[in-house]
Chains A and B, each alone.
Chain A
Amino acid sequence: MKKGQSSMIHKKKGPLMLFLVPAFVFLAVYLFYPFVLNVINSFQNIVGLGQAASGLNAPWYLNYQLLATDPIIHTSLKNTLLMMLCTIVFQVGIALVLSLLVDSIKIGGQFFRTVYFFPIVISATALGLMFNLIFLYNGGLVNSLFEGMGLGVVDWKDQSHWFFTMASPVMWQYVGFYFVIIVTGLNNISPDIYEAATIDGASAWQVVFRIKLPLLHNTLTTCLVLAITGALKVFDLPWTMFPNGVPLDSSWLTGTYMYKQTMGGAQNIDYGSTISIMIVVLGVVVSQIANAVFKEKDY
């Protein structure tokens, strides 16, 4: 780099702004503005999507009062937190294990990258329909196998099994997403470090725990934040498999309940707005906690 060139690069902000401003405008119009409107809507009475508000609620904080007392909100929060935990342990956890394994092999790495990433490409709704057939009570794949083995049929969507039936495809679909992120993180580790470790006589386990995992810290933090916020707003697959919180309002998630209130028949738009604000606040709080606990480190 020529002398003085670095200072000139920092002075030329014009082209930088030209590329940043359109994205910011897009975000402002399609993200910040709707969010502000949602906050306003949560205090008003709106009974139809797109309809004008018919004044403030009475009292104006009615929706927030309802939020605190609605038993289905409590159910959805509990289920969502469970889903978040499963996402962290299974999605990110399994992705980490798979990436470490794939990183260790010389042949076939690209094949596994493709295969593990493939489920993400499939529409979540299509996956929901497919898993509906797999877990169908009468004649579904799993129950047909069970009957063939003399084990009897299981209602995979009843109150004892619904969480497993909902979480399995959700976990399966997004393992590949985190796998790709973590593999990229592993690829960014300099081979010189592995060489030095080998020279120093480090075992494979020591390489994993003393080199790979510490250097993956920031990548894993990113994955955790993505997993947490993703679990808060997961909707399509759970709604396809468990519409209207079946069975008996026990399978609601924050995302599905918000959809139900806004577009799913309840037509309670202002309450749906309130729930969406709760989801955003929860997402920000939990991700900040995650960031604070798993502080970014420079190596």
Chain B
Amino acid sequence: MKKTFAVLLALLMCVGVLAGCGTPAASGSGSGTGATTPTGDGVQLNVVTSYGQEDGNRANFVEAVEEWKTETGNDILENSSTSDEAWKAQVLNDFEAGADPDVLFFFTGADADPLVNGDKVVSIEEIRAEYSTYADNMIQDMMPAATDGELYAIPTIGYWEGLFYNKTVLDAAEVEAPTADTTWEEFLEMCDKIKAAGYTPIAIGADVPHYWFEFLILNAGGIANHLNLPTADNAARESWIEGLDGFRELYSRGYFPDNYLTSTNEEAKALVADGDAAFIGEGSWTVGWFATNADVNEIGVTYAPGTEASAASEIITGVSMGYYITRKAWDDPAKREAAVSFVQHMTSNEVVGKMTATASASNILATPSDAATSFEDLLHETAYSMVNGATGKVAAVQDIAAGPARDTLFTSDIPQIATGNMTSEEAVDNWIAAFGA
């Protein structure tokens, strides 16, 4: 009896140990619409997106998801997070660990190479073989191709990067907001005045130099050269060095927050929203954040200052993210239908139209929605004017560099360059040696 009991206990322990094994759920930081047990014959999709709490289109995303759930009786287990470098790495790690989601809203450039090369996501061509109208509401030329030239993701909106400013701070410093004609030297004079007035000219976190990196590289190299990665002897190497030198100049002039080296992008946004700083380089996804966290008549958007190589009105813009259907969902007949339905709903004219308006983004719909073209508040009016007044458009060069290449430069080297611990030449040459072609 005692032996039998001992054996049973041991077996129970083994079962308990093994019970924790199994495929882990895909991760994000945990913004979710709440997973519930599907009712009836509904399917539950595992969805990972970048529409975290900080995204300006979060509310539109949640509303669209709830609509789809109500219409179809399906459910989603959502994990959304801010699309920073850590999130990108975590998404790729989840795929490697076998925790593939069913639908993924992710980047479409070099970041997606592991997914494309590993056949983790399904091409649009393959989907269209069965669902012929898939993504036919988009301007086809604007659909972002992966590095293999194929289409895998349906975008929702294009992105743009620009200079957000706090008008109250500028007024207090007796400075006008930069315009399409503002030169680099004029911008430096503005920053000097803002600093003298007791404000921080440029809010920036050490973790997100991404936008100033693009502005400065574009200013140094111009549009024609912008999408070339540096090699040992090409013009891109020179423009990267010059651009990074510009970053050090901004830091050495004292335009950054006092705690720049330890600050985060979230703190930087708060500085501008709270009227402690004048400018922040950010993108279309932040329009919604400022609309929620600041006075929409106090925050405006304008062009980053230009140079001879690149006018201020030449902007960084493009389409860099979209909805993927994963191979895992595609190969599951029950989930395939639901995944296609979900993506088609989330990229429908109605949903995309709302998101485009919220972010004042460029239209990517073949039949533009009835989104507003004039606005009553400073934030949306200036954002719309900035994007639609651009005289040149080019995508972000960082999107064609792989994650590890960006990670070293952005999180480690750029703060060292700013403080003079590393020269721009060293950083770029190290980059070329480690990641260059």
Check A249 against B412 for contact (C-beta < 8 Å).
yes
Which of A214-222, A240-248, A285-293 participates in binding chain B?
A240-248
Give A248 to B416 CA distance when docked, in angstroms: 6
Q: Which residue of B lies closest to A135 (CB)?
A: B262
Interface string of B182-218 (1 = CB under 8 A from A): 0000000000000000000000001100000000000
Check A263 against B90 for contact (C-beta < 8 Å).
yes
**Can you spell out 6 A-B residue pairs with CB atoms less than 8 angstroms apart?**
A18-B6, A22-B10, A48-B96, A138-B274, A244-B412, A265-B407
CB distance from B347 to the nearest CB of A (A): 29
Contacts of B412 in A (CB 8 A): 244-245, 249
Interface of B, secondary structure class, is helix
Which of B57-65, B152-160, B169-177, B263-271 participates in binding chain A?
B263-271
Q: Please pick, from A49, A138, A243, A246, the residue contacting B92 in the complex, using a CB distance under 8 A.
A: A49
Give A244 to B416 CA distance when docked, in angstroms: 13
Q: Please pick, from A18, A51, A248, A268, the residue contacting B96 in the complex, using a CB distance under 8 A.
A: A51
Check B261 against A158 for contact (C-beta < 8 Å).
yes
Interface string of B68-104 (1 = CB under 8 A from A): 0000000000000000011011101101111000000
A35 within 8 A of B: no
4 pairs of A and B residues whose beta carbons are closest in the complex: A50-B96, A157-B262, A265-B407, A247-B261
Check A18 against B7 for contact (C-beta < 8 Å).
yes
Give A219 to B270 CA distance when docked, in angstroms: 49
CB distance from A76 to the nearest CB of B (A): 14
Contacts of B92 in A (CB 8 A): 48-49, 267
B259 within 8 A of A: yes
Check B276 against A247 for contact (C-beta < 8 Å).
no
A264 within 8 A of B: yes
The CB with the most chain B CB atoms within 10 A, among A23, A264, A268, is that of A264
Whether A246 touches B261, Cβ cut-off 8 Å, given contacts A22-B13, A26-B17, A138-B270, is yes
Check B411 against A267 for contact (C-beta < 8 Å).
no
Check B421 against A248 for contact (C-beta < 8 Å).
yes
Check B90 against A19 for contact (C-beta < 8 Å).
no
Check B86 against A264 for contact (C-beta < 8 Å).
yes
Contacts of B86 in A (CB 8 A): 243, 264-265
Q: Which of A7-54 contact B (CB under 8 A)?
A: 14-15, 18-19, 21-23, 26, 47-51
Give A15 to B92 CA distance when docked, in angstroms: 45
Check A267 against B415 for contact (C-beta < 8 Å).
no
Contacts of B93 in A (CB 8 A): 49-50, 263
Whether A15 touches B6, Cβ cut-off 8 Å, given contacts A138-B267, A265-B407, is yes
Contacts of B13 in A (CB 8 A): 19, 22-23
Q: Please pick, from B2, B259, B274, B416, the residue contacting A158 in the complex, using a CB distance under 8 A.
A: B259
Q: Which of A225-269 contact B (CB under 8 A)?
A: 243-249, 263-268
CB distance from B88 to the nearest CB of A (A): 8
Check B262 against A155 for contact (C-beta < 8 Å).
yes
Check A49 against B97 for contact (C-beta < 8 Å).
yes
B392 within 8 A of A: no
Chain A interface size range: 20 to 34
Contacts of A48 in B (CB 8 A): 92, 96, 114
Contacts of A263 in B (CB 8 A): 89-90, 93
Check A244 against B411 for contact (C-beta < 8 Å).
yes
CB distance from A237 to the nearest CB of B (A): 16
Check B10 against A137 for contact (C-beta < 8 Å).
no
Give A50 to B419 CA distance when docked, in angstroms: 37
CB distance from A169 to the nearest CB of B (A): 16
CB distance from A125 to the nearest CB of B (A): 11
CB distance from A253 to the nearest CB of B (A): 16
Contacts of A247 in B (CB 8 A): 206, 261-262, 415
Check B259 against A267 for contact (C-beta < 8 Å).
no
Give A263 to B96 CA distance when docked, in angstroms: 11
Contacts of B415 in A (CB 8 A): 246-248
Q: Which residue of A lies closest to B413 (CB)?
A: A249
Q: Which of B407-437 contact A (CB under 8 A)?
A: 407-408, 411-412, 415-416, 419, 421
B404 within 8 A of A: yes
Give A186 to B412 CA distance when docked, in angstroms: 48
Check A138 against B276 for contact (C-beta < 8 Å).
yes
Assuming A137-B267, A155-B258, what are 11 further A-B pairs, CB within 8 angstroms? A137-B263, A155-B259, A158-B259, A244-B412, A246-B415, A248-B415, A248-B419, A263-B89, A265-B86, A265-B403, A266-B404
CB distance from A22 to the nearest CB of B (A): 5
Give A119 to B7 CA distance when docked, in angstroms: 38
Contacts of A265 in B (CB 8 A): 85-86, 88-89, 403-404, 407, 411
B224 within 8 A of A: no
Give A138 to B2 CA distance when docked, in angstroms: 65
Give A197 to B412 CA distance when docked, in angstroms: 61
Q: Please pick, from B262, B274, B403, B407, the residue contacting A137 in the complex, using a CB distance under 8 A.
A: B262
Q: Which residue of A lies closest to B411 (CB)?
A: A244
The CB with the most chain A CB atoms within 10 A, among B10, B98, B271, B274, is that of B10
Q: Which residue of B lies closest to A247 (CB)?
A: B261
Check B408 against A266 for contact (C-beta < 8 Å).
yes
B1 within 8 A of A: no
A136 within 8 A of B: yes
Give A242 to B90 CA distance when docked, in angstroms: 18
The CB with the most chain B CB atoms within 10 A, among A245, A248, A263, A265, is that of A265
Whether A248 touches B9, Cβ cut-off 8 Å, given contacts A265-B404, A266-B407, is no
Check A157 against B207 for contact (C-beta < 8 Å).
no
Q: Which of B231-268 contact A (CB under 8 A)?
A: 257-259, 261-263, 267
